Amino acid sequence: LGMGIDAEISDEADRSPLKKWFNFIRAGKLIYLFIFIKKIVTYKPGCMELIIDGDRHFLKKVWFIVIANQSYFGGGMKISPMSKVDDGSLNVIAVHDIPLLKLLTVFITVLWGGHLNIKNVDSFSGKKIKMKNEGSVKIQSDGEIVGRNEVAAVVLKEKLRVMLQADNRYKNMK
């Protein structure tokens, strides 16, 4: 779940007629790089409020905030290296108050998770997360636009049932 430039990139990539062309030449992921380069010069980072288990964080010049329960997104970017799908918490990555050149470093180092060592790339963890934006910013969930300006995520213990196939029989698991 993300708010900021990542959602703007996802939205434009999904609507772009160039996406079909990139997919046709088997280079579909390059559309995101192409749009990222375009967006970094036009996107205006704003102020956002992040509430994690009741603790408030006010961030200025936010490029993006991502809530994750797994390490990777976007086809191989290690956005949240500390995330574990089964640890009962959500991880939050916030990129804020950094100049444009440093943002490029973030997007390069995110490939292996090295961005957490960059100043003003903050990592948090919690069970109840809320993000609010002062302006108008898109929100993406798994690359799809799901809203604007405010979103909350909560860990619900044992609420997901998974079907496993074992010996040609299905078993319910909590």
Q: How many CB atoms lie within 10 A of CB 122?
A: 17
Instruction: Tell how strand 162-166 and strand 169-173 pair up.
Output: antiparallel
- Res 25: pLDDT: 83
- Res 162: pLDDT: 58
**29 CB-contact burial (10 Å; exposed 0-12 / middle 13-18 / buried 19+):** middle
Give the pLDDT confidence of 7-51 residue by residue, as tens digits.
Answer: 999 899 888 888 778 778 877 777 888 888 899 989 999 999 999
In which band, very low, low, confident or very high, does the pLDDT at 169 lie, cut at 50, 70 and 90?
very low
Q: How many CB atoms lie within 10 A of CB 10?
A: 21
Contact 33, 92 (CB under 8 A): no
Give the pLDDT confidence of 81-137 residue by residue, as tens digits.
Answer: 898 888 889 999 999 999 988 998 998 898 898 999 999 999 999 999 999 998 889
Domains (range + CATH), the chain: 2-173 (2.60.200.40)
Rounded CA separation 5/137 (Å): 8
Q: Comparing C-alpha atoms, which of 88, 82, 86, 78 is closest to residue 53? A: 88
pLDDT reading at 167 higher than 70: no
Distance spanning both ends of the chain, measured CA to CA? 23
Residues facing residue 154 across a β-bridge: 128
- Res 3: pLDDT: 95
